């Protein structure tokens, strides 16, 4: 399908979906998802520095999940000191404006899988010129802004007046209300990070010039990456608009 048809196709698809005339994405086959997401992709040959963005995102999420684990298990001693940070390229400037736009879009998505699907398609359209792993990394990075900020505020020292006010505004005092929900939520975030790591590793291996005859499994896996990216983004959206679970809200 040509890229010139993409905007009209996307509009038609989203309009039909919003009217409840298509299947739930949870009931879609991989082929249906592949067909749906491919119309948003435009190959330009350009490559944004997603490696540095992923390094920062990974640092945020690994430390955030360590803090969350300590809260959920009541240990009170997060193992963040044992985490080795990844280092982005010197002078790297994250795309803050775009990340905040995507983050806000995620947070404001109404509950429900159909709304999460519509936001996923919108984000894919915004990131249409990025590589497939880049799309997943951008979405994960946008989510990490919210998740990382929340857990950073949980650790605000008592003498930090500004930090305590921000913590109160973000209602982080409620983390003690539902430790099991925190544990379950945090497990999902870890799995999401692992999934995106796998996507980026497959993309990396695909650029090494392996012959498909020698590594047939790699070729098969590469065909599924757009589907994996779709599910990674929709998962990030669902996590973002359920952050209230961390403070004991339903």
DSSP for 192-240?
Answer: HHHHHHHHHHHHHHHTTT--TTT-HHHHHHHHHHHHHHHHHHHHHHHHH
User: The tokens 């404001």 sit on which residue?
Assistant: 108
pLDDT of res. 18: 47
Per-residue pLDDT, 45: 62
Given a contact cutoff of 8 angstroms between Cβ atoms, the answer to whether 147 and 238 are in contact is no
Question: Torsion-angle region of residue 223: left (phi > 0), alpha (psi -120 to 50) or beta?
Answer: alpha
Average pLDDT, the chain: 84
pLDDT of residue 63: 93
Please compute, for residue 224, the number of CA atoms within 13 A of its CA located in the half-sphere on the CB side: 14
Nearest CA to 226 out of 20, 14, 7, 32 is that of 32
Quick check: 117 and 25 in contact, CB under 8 A?
Answer: yes
Whether residue 13 is contained in a domain is answered as no
Whole-model pTM: value is: 0.84
Residue 194 in domain? yes
- Which tokens belong to 174? 């409620």
The CA–CA distances, whole Å, from 151 to 4, 28, 119 equal 43, 35, 25
Asked, for residue 17, whether it belongs to a domain, the answer is no
- Where helices occur in 39-131 by DSSP H, the ranges are 50-73, 96-107, 113-126
**Count of domains observed in the chain:** 1
pLDDT along the chain (250 residues), means of 10: 43 47 75 90 78 94 93 71 64 92 96 92 94 95 97 92 94 86 95 95 78 69 88 96 82
Q: Examine residue 161 and state whether it is found in any structural domain, yes or no.
A: yes
178 inside domain: yes
| Chain position carrying tokens 């998802």 | 33
Residue 18 lies in a domain: no
- Predicted confidence at residue 4, as pLDDT, reads 40
* pLDDT in the model for residue 52: 92
CB 109 within 8 A of CB 119: yes
Q: Do residues 78 and 70 lie in contact, with contact meaning Cβ atoms separated by under 8 Å?
A: yes
Structural domain boundaries, residue 45: 37-247
Residue 5 lies in a domain: no
């Amino acid at each position: 399908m040509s890229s010139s048809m993409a905007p009209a196709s996307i509009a038609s698809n989203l309009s039909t979906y919003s009217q409840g005339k298509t299947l739930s994405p949870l009931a879609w086959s991989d082929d249906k998802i592949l067909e749906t997401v491919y119309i948003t992709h435009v190959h330009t040959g350009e490559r944004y520095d997603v490696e540095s963005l992923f390094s920062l995102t990974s640092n945020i999420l690994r430390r955030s999940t360590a803090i969350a684990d300590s809260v959920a298990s009541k240990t009170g001693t997060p193992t963040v000191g044992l985490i080795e940070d990844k280092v982005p390229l010197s002078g790297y400037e994250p795309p803050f404006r775009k990340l905040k736009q995507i983050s806000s879009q995620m947070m404001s998505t109404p509950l429900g899988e159909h709304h999460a699907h519509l936001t996923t398609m919108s984000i894919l359209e915004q990131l249409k010129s990025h590589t497939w792993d880049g799309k997943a990394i951008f979405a994960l990075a946008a989510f990490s802004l919210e998740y990382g900020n929340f857990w950073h505020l949980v650790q605000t020292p008592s003498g930090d007046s500004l930090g305590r006010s921000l913590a109160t505004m973000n209602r982080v005092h409620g983390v003690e209300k539902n430790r099991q929900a925190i544990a379950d939520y945090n497990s999902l975030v870890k799995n999401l990070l692992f999934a995106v790591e796998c996507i980026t590793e497959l993309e990396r291996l695909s650029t090494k010039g392996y012959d498909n005859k020698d590594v047939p499994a790699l070729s098969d896996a590469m065909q599924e990456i757009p589907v994996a990216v779709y599910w990674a983004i929709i998962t990030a959206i669902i996590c973002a608009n359920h952050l209230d679970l961390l403070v004991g809200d339903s």
